[in-house]
Chain A
């Protein structure tokens, strides 16, 4: 257990529905990352927060995706009007900014299946 938690662990939804995932990082970590992983591939970067500010979004993050980190602690990732192509594992990682030693610690992920 890394100290990063994600909920729910599994989500099955029908195409067109909205879903929201939550990530609780390690409490003192100021950076939070979201990644997406499809079958057989490594995780791919989606977006990144430093404290409450969302500083970068990948081109993978379409307009249907939105992420927030309102108080610089937990974060949510919402997908609107889900599509079958959104089926993937959504991973959250947190870190403490420090140039030499920054290490990201990952949560267990939320596995999404869109029917």
Chain B
């Protein structure tokens, strides 16, 4: 699976949009971009995933560049409860093998009141 690069930490004011970047310049055509987050002392929580089109759900939006070498997770109206470590993961899905997730160290997002 392709390697990802994320900033170590970011701050965002409460109520503003939080934009978390991720670089995955070695991504291949059949690899998906997944985002998880982990609030302190809890298990990782799935947020969103995409292949090449932008995606939106009730939690966030995922913007993937046209060349797919980078993406941005957007939390439209950040709240204090969004303070967490956010992991960007690139994953090749095979449907017949081990779909293990390879986590990096993620971005520690702090929402400031």
Contact = CB atoms under 8 A, between A and B. Distances in A.
Contacts of A95: 99
A30 B37 CA distance: 23
Given A33-B100, A42-B87, A108 B95 contact: no
A56 B99 contact: no
Given A42-B87, A45-B102, A106 B95 contact: no
A25 interface: no
B45 A106 contact: yes
Contact of B93 (A2, A40, A41, A102): A102
8 A-B pairs with least C-beta separation = A42-B103, A99-B95, A106-B43, A45-B100, A56-B98, A106-B44, A99-B93, A48-B98
Given A45-B102, A106-B45, 4 more contacts: A43-B101, A91-B43, A93-B43, A98-B95
Interface in A76-115: 91, 93, 95, 97-100, 102-109, 111
B22 to A, nearest CB: 13
A43 B93 contact: no
User: Interface residue tally of chain B, by bracket?
Assistant: 20 to 34
B49 to A, nearest CB: 7
Contacts, number: 66
Given A42-B87, A45-B102, A48-B100, A107 B93 contact: no
Contacts of B101: 33, 35, 43, 45, 93, 104
Contacts of A93: 43-44, 101
Interface in B20-39: 34, 36
Nearest to A105: B46
Nearest to A58: B100
Given A99-B93, A103-B49, A91 B102 contact: no
Contacts of A2: 43, 45-46
Contacts of A102: 93, 95, 99
B94 A99 contact: yes
A103 B57 CA distance: 14
